[in-house]
Structure 1
Amino acid sequence: MISFPNCKINLGLRITSKRPDGFHNLQSCFYPVGWSDVLEVIPADAFAFSSSGLPIPGDPQKNLCVRAYRALKADFDLPPVQMHLHKIVPIGAGLGGGSADAAFALKTLNEQFRLGLGPLQLEEYARPLGSDCAFFVQNRPVYCVEKGDVFEEISVDLSGYYILLVFPDLAISTAEAYAGVRPHQPETDLREHLTAPIGNWAATVHNDFEDSLFPKYPLLQQIKQTFYEEGAVYASMSGSGSAVYGIFNAPPVLPNQFSGYVVWQGKLEKQFRG
């Protein structure tokens, strides 16, 4: 069985406080985007995991797809499988690619072996794997609070808009990104700004990581500014970086400044099945 784990963007990201467990509380809206990896799961005599495409750092046996299989294996009589991940979505880009891989592994195994788990049950398996993982189970716009893994409904629909994503081959670790943030409680909840017309967002919807990362990596701010110069209705860094996106009313023409970068563009939908 083959699936296509897609990525996400953050529409705004506010770091509101430091938690006793060392994590941070935040406000954000996760929105699915069609840039995808490829995950194949087939029956095998013994469990095995392999990958191709972009190199994945770390021990392959600790990959999130492997951990997803083991999480279900602990509760169900899963047969061995061969999992192969073709990695396309850049790592360290703030797009949640690894989290999507884990969530799609859970969903694929659930479907392939008829485990009968519903979306909320799958989300509970996904949460221990990473803060973003649970989002990709239902893969639709949600308002995220606490660590980013508690979801609330939000009426944000960007269907029909076009997105241009640029990754300048600059990986920013989560630890580096959080080291520069100063948590603060905003006067207005981010949800209120997001439910206003997208034309208002440039002045009101902000990613707090930009405050410390743009001075350190001016290239990221330059990419965002270029998007606005090319007619974007909204532009931002996604997550903790370093991918930057622009949202447009029509398919954008690729600026010459982006040659040599990893670029993806497509049309936005409200929900992505993969």
Structure 2
Amino acid sequence: MLDFPNAKINLGLYITSKRPDGFHNLQSCFYPVKWCDALEILPSKEERFDITGLSVPGKLETNLCYKAYKLLQQDFKLPPVHMHLHKVIPMGAGLGGGSSDAAFTLRILNKLFELDLNADTLEEYARKLGSDCAFFVRNKPVVVSEKGDIFQPVALDLKGYSCVIVHPGIHISTAEAYGNVVPEEPSCGMEILLKQEVPVWKNILENDFEKVLFPKYPELPKVKEKLYDAGAAYASMTGSGSAVFGLFKGDAPTDLVFPNHYIVWQGLF
């Protein structure tokens, strides 16, 4: 069975407090985009896991797809499988690619072996794999809170806009991003901010990680400025970086040029 795990962008991201468990509480809006990996899972005589495309560091046991398979195998008699992940979404970019791969593994296994798990149950499994994994079970725009795993549906539709995502080849770990951020409650709730017109977001919708990471990585604010210069209605870093995206009314410009080592994706919502 073949499916295509997609990325997400963050529309605003506020780190509101440090939790007793060492994590941080946050507020943000997750919005799915059509930049996708490819994931195929088939029954097999023995366990096999192949990765093509972008290089994925780490041992098999730490891969989120493999961990998702083993998590379900604890509760169900799953046979061996052959998993093939073709990695396209860059890692350490704030796009949730690894989390999406994990959630789609759960979704595929659920269909492939007729486990009959509903979305709520799949989300509970996904939360055991990572804070934002559960988002990709339903894969619809939500306002998120707490660790990024509590969801509130939001009536937000970016149809008619195109998105340009630029990854400058910088890998930013979650630990690095959170290391110097200063938690602070936002002056206004996410739902109120998102009700404003998209061009207004430029002045009101922020990503707290930009304050920490832009001075350290000057390439990032340059990308954001270039997107605005090209006519973006709104531009921001997504997640904890390092990808920066721009939202354009209608089609995005075709003459945007970035250094060759940057990965650039664009598409309509």
User: Same fold by TM (over 0.5)?
Assistant: yes
Deviations 1:108-159 (A, max 9, x none): 0000111000111100000010011000000000000000000012111111
For 1:260, give the aligned amino acid: H
CA distance in 2, matches of 1:65, 1:257: 32
CA distance in 2, matches of 1:49, 1:259: 31
CA distance in 1, matches of 2:231, 2:203: 15
Give the length in aligned residue pairs: 268
Equivalent residue number for residue 82 of structure 2: 82
Structure 1 vs Structure 2: percent identity of aligned residues? 55
Q: Is the CA contact 1:49–1:61 (under 8 Å) kept in the aligned structure 2?
A: no
Secondary structure of residue in 1 paired with 2:246: strand
Q: Is the CA contact 1:166–1:258 (under 8 Å) kept in the aligned structure 2?
A: no
Deviations 1:62-97 (A, max 9, x none): 210111111111111111110110111001000000
CA distance in 1, matches of 2:185, 2:36: 34
Equivalent residue number for residue 204 of structure 1: 204
Q: Is the CA contact 2:169–2:261 (under 8 Å) kept in the aligned structure 1?
A: no
Equivalent residue number for residue 151 of structure 1: 151
CA distance in 2, matches of 1:136, 1:10: 13
Alignment of 1:144-183 (within 5 A): 144-183=144-183
Secondary structure of residue in 2 paired with 1:256: coil
12-21 or 155-164, larger mean C-alpha shift: 155-164
The answer to whether residue 103 in structure 2 is matched with residue 103 in structure 1 is yes
Distance 1:128 1:226, change over 3 A: same
Secondary structure of residue in 2 paired with 1:247: strand
How far the C-alpha of 1:186 sits from its partner, in A, is 1.7
Equivalent residue number for residue 187 of structure 2: 187
CA distance in 1, matches of 2:258, 2:87: 25
Equivalent residue number for residue 26 of structure 1: 26
Secondary structure of residue in 2 paired with 1:216: coil
How far the C-alpha of 1:258 sits from its partner, in A, is 4.5
How far the C-alpha of 1:259 sits from its partner, in A, is 4.0
Deviations 1:208-265 (A, max 9, x none): 0000111111110010011111000000000000000000012222422354310000
Alignment of 1:202-241 (within 5 A): 202-241=202-241
**5+ residue gaps, structure 2:** none
Equivalent residue number for residue 94 of structure 1: 94
Q: Is the CA contact 1:92–1:242 (under 8 Å) kept in the aligned structure 2?
A: yes
147-156 or 245-254, larger mean C-alpha shift: 245-254
**Alignment RMSD (CA, Å):** 0.9
Deviations 1:33-83 (A, max 9, x none): 000101010110112212111111111122101111111111111111101
**5+ residue gaps, structure 1:** 269-274
Secondary structure of residue in 1 paired with 2:9: strand
The answer to whether residue 262 in structure 2 is matched with residue 261 in structure 1 is yes
CA distance in 1, matches of 2:168, 2:124: 34
CA distance in 1, matches of 2:255, 2:238: 19
TM-score (norm 1): 0.96
Equivalent residue number for residue 35 of structure 2: 35
Q: Is the CA contact 2:143–2:190 (under 8 Å) kept in the aligned structure 1?
A: no
Equivalent residue number for residue 60 of structure 1: 60
How far the C-alpha of 1:185 sits from its partner, in A, is 1.1
Q: Which runs of 4+ in 1 moved over 2 A?
A: 256-260
Q: Is the CA contact 2:7–2:97 (under 8 Å) kept in the aligned structure 1?
A: yes
